[in-house]
Chains A and B, each alone.
Chain A
Amino acid sequence: MKTLAMLLMVGLCLGRVRAANAVVTGAIFGPGSESFPIAVVPLKNVGGDADGSLGTRFARVLSRDLDLSGYFRLLDPKTFIEDPQTSGTTAADIDFVGWATLGAQALVKGTINAAGDTVTVEVRLFDVPGRHDVPAASRRFTGSRADLGRMANKTADGILEFLTGERGPFDSAIAFVSTRGGRLKEVYRFTFDMDDPVKLSDERSLVVTPRWRNDNRAVLFTSYREHIPRLFQLDLATRQVTRLVGGPGQVLDGAWSPDGSKLLVTRDEGGNSDIYLLDSGGQMIRRLTDHWAIDVSPVWAPDGQRLAFCSARTGSPQIYIMNIDGSGLTRVSHTGSYNTSPAWSPKGDRLAYATRASGGFQIVVGGVDGSGEQTITSMGSNENPSWAPDGRYLVFSSTRAGQHHLFLSDREGKSQKQLTRGSADDTSPAWSRRLE
């Protein structure tokens, strides 16, 4: 019988194998194998949560995170034998034999204490076959009621870190564009602890291509609020919207540098789009492309020294990389007649992009030099990939369930899960960095 300690070793071994040779990833224990049965029990009330609603909500968010990770099979709470409110939450008091009979390899139990707006959560991961708790994946949180969901997300991230050697990505946010508020598109924020995305922008116009500022405190986007498309920034604390780039022409998209000191933008003047490097005040530092063909969709490498973008200079849209001083132009994509929307992984080692295939788009993931490319989607049309802060997962829009919805996938496409639902179109996701 596998124990958590053994799995930890497998996880760590995989980590090493991954670094040396990407072929073996996930074969034994990875997203998509869903090999690992885990039970998540609602938190036990030790004060202030008499109806159990907070403890149940915590368990629901944590369960969803673990399910989305693709590593786990969540056991059905209806089969649980222990009453969450009367049974113990420490190793000495847990019926490990009973949990093993249900098929659980791991178990999450804990307590919640709510006093006024302050909530204290103690949550432990238990190794069921080993009959002990796992301190490295156990946590104590104190915060406001509004932080409860984030406590669950952080718990999931810690469990993933213990089991896989890589911290999970769930304490983060995804900005995207949606028609869910009406006929016009606005920017929304998805977080893993909320049932419904929160509306961020109030442009009452056309909005495209949201991206996070490096500190997660502002979202920039292209808006038609001044008739022609231009780049704006929404400060999430003050709700103020400011125009980032002046001057002539349309600004089609933009991205803050990893250190927040510079911008990459696509400016279209007189029907020719080119990529420019600007300072944080929107003043030009350097024109990076000067070609009659379309150049668009610039994204930063995480080191801030290179960019990836899409150019049609050879007659069809393809992915290129370039140094931020304008040197070293290199074509990355070589297969397919239409490759766009690059996204550079946070670890710097991979690019994802959308490739046109059989009438729709599919997501490709490969090395920055174009090596080892793999198409990770096949159902519906899939666009606008964006990397999770851990570099293990991606989010993109997909039509596989009808309308455009956001889907999450691990970078090999083994585990793909639907994030947003409903009759509206959800597009252009941008995953934030980890929250602080």
Chain B
Amino acid sequence: MWRVALALVLIAPLAGACKKKSMRPGEGGAGAAGLGEEGLGGSSLERSKRGLGPEEGGILGDVHFAYDSYELDGSARDVLARNVDWLRQNSRAKVELEGHCDSRGTIEYNLALGAKRAKSVKDYLSSQGIAGERVSTISYGKELPLCQEESEPCWARNRRVHSVVLGQ
């Protein structure tokens, strides 16, 4: 029992430390399950293949959207301003923008909507001088949700663009 608690205590500062020194994505990788260790980074699909859930946030913050919308609101721009700072400081880093949607849309429509969300973020990064070749986009629609509950807090978490740092 206390081993689990110890693992939890250990992981928190560790994860923080990793974030600070801009850890290479996937480094935490293989994931010894008994320790409660979790890999950081990696695309939502790759993480799902490994049995990990999609990652929320990470080196770069998630950008959230209103229902059936791909417009960037004030809080989205606040997150993106910090992401732009990091991308400027880590000028060799490339990033993939994953568009995600909540469950309240149909499968194909949400694939298209997720693509629009990723494009909105890419356009914003471009407007802030982040070169287009550093930024790729992909849509996962509603296929890889962070949470499954049918409630507004869960839907809101799932309506997002998640940024995966590909290399620095």
Contacts and interface: CB of A to CB of B under 8 A. Distances in A.
A406 to B, nearest CB: 14
Contact of B106 (A184, A227, A272, A361): A361
B42 interface: no
B138 interface: yes
B48 A183 contact: yes
B108 A253 contact: yes
B86 interface: no
Contacts of A229: 111, 138-139
Nearest to A341: B106
A384 B150 CA distance: 19
Interface string B1-21: 000000000000000000000
A296 B138 contact: no
B45 A340 contact: no
24 contacts: A183-B49, A184-B49, A206-B45, A206-B140, A208-B108, A208-B141, A208-B143, A224-B45, A227-B138, A250-B138, A252-B111, A270-B119, A294-B109, A294-B113, A317-B68, A338-B68, A338-B105, A340-B109, A341-B106, A354-B106, A356-B104, A359-B150, A361-B106, A383-B107
Give the secondary structure class of A's interface. Answer: strand
**Among the interface residues A222, A229, A268, A384, which one has the most CB atoms of the partner chain B within 10 A?**
A268
Nearest to A294: B112
A310 B109 contact: yes
A268 B115 contact: yes
A206 B111 contact: no
B122 interface: yes
Contact of B112 (A268, A270, A316): A268
A114 to B, nearest CB: 44
A340 B140 CA distance: 18
B64 to A, nearest CB: 17
A271 interface: yes
Interface string A349-386: 00000101001110000000000000000000001100
A62 to B, nearest CB: 34
Contacts of A432: none
B138 A252 contact: no
B167 to A, nearest CB: 15
Interface residues of A, number: 41
Nearest to A427: B107
Given A206-B48, A271-B120, 11 more contacts: A183-B49, A206-B45, A209-B108, A224-B45, A250-B111, A271-B116, A272-B119, A273-B111, A310-B108, A317-B68, A428-B107
Interface string B42-86: 000100110100000000000000001000000000000000000
A268 B70 CA distance: 15
**Among the interface residues B51, B111, B120, which one has the most CB atoms of the partner chain A within 10 A?**
B111
A313 B166 CA distance: 34
B165 interface: no
A172 interface: no
Contacts of A145: none
A359 B150 CA distance: 9
Contacts of A233: none
A252 B106 contact: no
A63 B116 CA distance: 48
B146 interface: no
Interface in B143-166: 143-144, 150
A242 to B, nearest CB: 21
A297 B109 contact: yes
Contacts of B109: 294, 296-297, 310, 317, 340-341
